């Protein structure tokens, strides 16, 4: 009998402890849910206009001949003309880089009167590219626009559009992150005041995509981010999504 009474008391004690633990867990869950639902979620934004300070530009020129030596000599003359032109435009010689010569053997597919087809050698096509990376943006811009004048001297030349970059991009990004975070905090403060409450601690912050667009170009933002290289004048934009507790 005593054993039965003892077992009953033990079971009751265990049940009481389990009930206390369950009540504690339930209370914390409710407290967490209450704190989670009483939060303020905002998106802060920051943007800045800036000017590129590095330009990259390239152009290609080629020669074609049935004789490889002749094509090579003609291409060398073209290379000298291109280099002299760039030097005259104020481009530093150390910034002028010529790639290795690309040699292609070209063939023409022909069919004779008997209906037999064959590939007929059509000559050697030699191509070379000149590229420039410089902080002298005005000089390179001018050279890229006027180098087509060499075509009148018999050079088969194709000029690409310049691409523009910024050497202090990482510093700019950090500056905008700070500004976007402050903007998010200000927005959360305003919401808390309007709601008649006070702003608590920061719970979570997510960094948005860093976007670089051309100024006044009406470019659309993309999910993966936009990185404009065709515009000399650019605009950087970033967002920060923040969540604050509401006291």
State the residue for tokens 């950090």: 174
- The stretch 225-230 carries a mean pLDDT of 89
Q: How confident is the model at residue 247 (pLDDT cuts 50, 70, 90)?
A: confident
- Read off the pTM: 0.76
Q: Beta-carbon neighbour count of residue 226 at 10 Å?
A: 15
Residues 6+ apart with CB under 8 A from 117: 109, 110, 111
Half-sphere exposure of 69 (CA within 13 A, CB side): 0
Query: Of 167, 173, 166, which Cα lies nearest the Cα of 237?
Result: 173
Contact 69, 98 (CB under 8 A): no
Residue 232 makes CB contacts below 8 A (sequence gap 6+) with: 51, 52, 55, 137, 141, 164
Question: Is it the case that residue 7 has pLDDT exceeding 80?
Answer: no
Residue 8 above 70 pLDDT? Answer: no
Q: Where are the beta strands (DSSP E) in 135-232?
A: 156-159, 163-165, 199-207, 211-214
Is pLDDT at 171 greater than 50 in this prediction?
A: yes
Which of 9-18, 77-86, 101-110, 173-182 shows the lowest mean pLDDT across its residues?
Answer: 9-18
More confident: 133 or 224: 133
Q: For residue 28, which phi and psi values (nearest 5 degrees)?
A: -65, -40
């Amino acid at each position: 009998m005593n054993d039965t009474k003892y077992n009953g008391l033990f079971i009751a004690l265990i049940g009481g402890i389990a009930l206390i633990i369950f009540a504690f867990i339930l209370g914390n869950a409710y407290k967490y849910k209450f704190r989670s639902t009483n939060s303020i979620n905002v998106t802060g934004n920051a943007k800045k206009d800036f000017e590129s300070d590095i330009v990259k530009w390239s152009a290609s020129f080629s020669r074609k001949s049935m004789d490889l030596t002749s094509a090579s000599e003609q291409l060398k003359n073209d290379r000298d003309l291109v280099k002299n032109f760039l030097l005259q435009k104020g481009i530093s010689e150390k910034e002028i880089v010529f790639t290795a010569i690309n040699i292609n053997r070209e063939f023409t597919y022909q069919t004779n009167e008997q209906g037999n087809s064959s590939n007929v050698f059509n000559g050697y096509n030699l191509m070379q590219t000149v590229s420039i990376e410089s902080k002298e943006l005005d000089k390179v811009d001018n050279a890229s626009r006027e180098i087509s004048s060499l075509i009148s001297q018999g050079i088969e030349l194709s000029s690409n559009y310049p691409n523009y970059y910024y050497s202090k991009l990482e510093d700019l990004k950090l500056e905008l992150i700070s500004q976007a975070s402050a903007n998010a905090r200000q927005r959360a403060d305003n919401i808390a005041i309007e709601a008649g409450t006070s702003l608590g601690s920061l719970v979570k912050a997510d960094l948005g995509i860093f976007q670089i667009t051309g100024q006044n170009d009406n470019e659309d933002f993309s999910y993966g981010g936009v990185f404009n290289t065709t515009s000399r004048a650019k605009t950087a934009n970033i967002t920060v999504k923040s969540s604050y507790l509401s006291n």
